[in-house]
Amino acid sequence: MNSEQGRPPRRLRSAHSSLAAHGEPLVWLTGGALALAIAMISGLLAFIAVRGAATFWPVPLVELELADGRRVLGEVTGRERVAAVDGREAFGRTLLKTATFEVTGNHYEWFDDPGVARIVQPEWATAVERLEGGRFHGLPLRLVHGDKTVAEGAELAWREFERIQPAVRRRVREALRIDRHDRGVLQRQLRAARLGVVQADLRSGRDSVAYEAAVREEQAVTARVHERSALLDAETAQLREENAGWGFEFEAAGGEKRVLPLEQIVRAWQPNRLSTMGKLGVYLGRWWEFLTDDPREANSAGGVFPAIWGTVAMTLIMALLVAPFGMLAALYLREYASRGPVTTAVRIAINNLAGVPSIVYGAFGLGFFCYVFGAGIDEVFFRSALVADNQPTFGTGGLLWASLTLALLTLPVVIVATEEALSAVPNSMREGSYACGAGKWQTIRRIVLPRALPGIMTGLILAMARGAGEVAPLMLVGVKKLALDLPIDGTFPFVHPEREFMHLAYLIYDVGFQSPNSQAAQPMVFTITFLLVAIIALLNVAAIWLRSRLKRRYVMQQF
């Protein structure tokens, strides 16, 4: 071949290969993109986790003595530098959570470093968390009961306070429980009896036997409720009586003395005296309150238990609703529908549905589920409430409608994932089943579905993650700022899917951006976000665990 004289042998291929052919630049590019994505996501999560977890840690209380002689006591929550402007030098300043609103008139205040004469950490500085009015920072003086001084001096008073406070707190909670829960039950009984009368009137008229029976029943219930109510009154009065008179006198940093009623004190701690274990105790105690208690002070303090409940319940109900619908729809599309332009169009339409703004689903949910569907249910089953109170039962937002709306929202995700999973089932398995004489449905149920289940679970996990973090549609179909009655309780029929509920994602919006005191609420926002992310992660981990179990059972490595 290369025998032609004078010409070097012709080479078809170069002996060298370009850098691009080896792929190194692409390794860096792809790896870099992944690293960037991971860095951003983990950075966000770490930021939320650190800020969210730090909220309840007891921070030292510092006392600033200002150049003008004023003194303030608070937690350092921020530092910043103020740039130099015409001749003035740059200086730092500190954001102090001064709390003690009734004395300072502020919750937070900036202090310029040049104006601060002295910084100390008073040993006995106490942070007091109250039911109302925010925190109080001060030094303990004495514990009083009525006009009597029970204990004088920081140490004695504090010791006595720690001894008495749990009992006081218990009585406060008991009274609160009676007011919120037991009285609520009585109210509902009254209402049910009253509606029973209206119902009997609507159904059989005023002269009927049923109407008279209902009236008698109402009278009986009313009597019973009054009797019970009086008992409760006595009970709460006694609890309040026992708590009344107890007070803890503090001296604020400026020297003002205030007696705080003990029944108003949720918790008090002295961060400058606490050991690490003691701080941990306060920390865990505040977390516990956060997770298990009802919110107070416009949701900016206390707990978020109803919101946790609402989030988890809504997500699970949504998953239960969307899973069968999505699976059936995908089954038809993949297993039954003949391939053709119509099927393709339907598939494209479903994919497009995933891109519809979620608020549109919310509007649809309100318009259809609440106002059409729910109103229809009210018309048939809850007419008495409609007539007597002009109050819808199902005809307004609620847990069920919110779950349904979100199920609709996440349906495309489930359908697409299920279709993928179904198409990944090898055809040889279907053929094997048909060859055994199995029918279509038998093949689907016994072979295709089990094999596709892990993939379907993946879709469901994605749907749950999307649904649990959704806020916009929920605002229209049932999420409320405050809804302390859980959708499951002791009153008949025990499950109340029509009730409005609280949701963590909405709480983030509400506390963070609708709160009158947004600075105070800010740490709470981080904590709620942290909690929401943790709950979604927990739900996902549960689903992933389930999926890996299914995978081990049904999908394998062939050969």
Partner 1 sequence: MQVFTDSSPAGSQGSRAPAGDPPADRLLAVAAGREVAAEVHDRVLAETPVLEIDRFNLWYGGKQALHAITMPVPHNKVTALVGPSGCGKSTLLRSVNRLNDLVQNVRITGDMRLSGDSIYDPRMDVIELRKRMGMVFQKPNPFPMSIYENVVYALRIDGENSRAVLDEVCELSLRGAALWDEVKDRLHDSALGLSGGQQQRLCIARAIAAEPEVLLLDEPCSALDPIATGKVEDLIQELRGRYSVLIVTHNMQQASRTSDYTAFMYLGRLIEYGPTTEIFTKPILRETEAYVTGRFG
Which residues make up the interface to partner 1 (CB under 8 A)?
Answer: 338-339, 426, 428-439, 442, 446-447, 450-451, 553-559
Give 523: exposed, middle or buried? Use CB within 10 Å, 0-12, 13-18, 19+. middle
Mapping DSSP onto H, E and C, the string for 422-483 reads HHCCCHHHHHHHHHCCCCHHHHHHHHHHHHHHHHHHHHHHHHHHHHHCCCHHHHHHCECCCC
Range 72-81 burial, b when 16+ CB lie within 10 A, else e: bbbbbeeeee
Q: Which residue, 146 or 439, is less far from partner 1 as judged by CB? A: 439
Is residue 96 within a helix (H) or strand (E), and if so which, with residue range? strand 91-97
Q: Give the residues across from 250 on adjacent strands.
A: 140, 258
Report, in Å, the least distance between residue 431 CB and partner 1. 6
Q: Which residue, 351 or 442, is less far from partner 1 as judged by CB? A: 442
Report, in Å, the least distance between residue 427 CB and partner 1. 9
Pick the closest to residue 303 from 157, 462, 173, 466 (CA basis).
173
Report, in Å, the least distance between residue 370 CB and partner 1. 43
Q: Which CB contacts under 8 angstroms, 24+ apart, belong to 293-300?
A: 294/180, 294/484, 295/482, 296/131, 296/132, 297/132, 297/134, 298/515, 298/516, 299/481, 299/482, 299/507, 299/510, 299/511, 299/515, 299/521, 299/524, 300/511, 300/515, 300/517, 300/520, 300/521, 300/524
Give 14: exposed, middle or buried? Use CB within 10 Å, 0-12, 13-18, 19+. exposed
Q: Which residue, 372 or 436, is less far from partner 1 as judged by CB? A: 436
Report, in Å, the least distance between residue 443 CB and partner 1. 9
Q: Which residue, 280 or 436, is less far from partner 1 as judged by CB? A: 436
**The tokens 């350092």 sit on which residue?**
76
Q: Are 201 and 183 within 8 A, CB to CB? A: no
Concatenate the DSSP letters of all residues of 499-528 into one string.
Answer: S-B--HHHHHHHHHHS-TTHHHHHHHHHHH
Token readout for 180 is 């919120």
Report, in Å, the least distance between residue 343 CB and partner 1. 12
Report, in Å, the least distance between residue 337 CB and partner 1. 12
* Beta carbons within 8 Å of 67's beta carbon, 6+ residues apart: 114, 115, 116, 117
- Relative orientation angle of helices 305-331 and 518-554, to the nearest 10 degrees: 40
Report, in Å, the least distance between residue 326 CB and partner 1. 21
User: CA 45, CA 479: separation in Å to the nearest integer?
Assistant: 26
Report, in Å, the least distance between residue 555 CB and partner 1. 7
Q: Which residue, 433 or 527, is less far from partner 1 as judged by CB? A: 433
User: CA 498, CA 5: separation in Å to the nearest integer?
Assistant: 95
Q: Are 271 and 262 within 8 A, CB to CB? A: no
Q: Which residue, 277 or 556, is less far from partner 1 as judged by CB? A: 556
Report, in Å, the least distance between residue 428 CB and partner 1. 4
Q: Which residue, 90 or 556, is less far from partner 1 as judged by CB? A: 556
Report, in Å, the least distance between residue 334 CB and partner 1. 14
Amino acid at 417: A
Task: Give the strands of the sheet with 61-66, arranged side by side.
Answer: 108-112, 91-97, 71-82, 61-66, 116-120
Q: Which residue, 17 or 338, is less far from partner 1 as judged by CB? A: 338
Q: Which residue, 171 or 451, is less far from partner 1 as judged by CB? A: 451
Q: Which residue, 376 or 426, is less far from partner 1 as judged by CB? A: 426
Q: Which residue, 226 or 553, is less far from partner 1 as judged by CB? A: 553
Report, in Å, the least distance between residue 344 CB and partner 1. 15
Report, in Å, the least distance between residue 457 CB and partner 1. 15
Concatenate the DSSP letters of all residues of 322-346 into one string.
Answer: HHHHHHHHHHIIIIISPSSHHHHHH
Q: Which residue, 275 or 558, is less far from partner 1 as judged by CB? A: 558
Report, in Å, the least distance between residue 429 CB and partner 1. 5
Q: Which residue, 139 or 425, is less far from partner 1 as judged by CB? A: 425
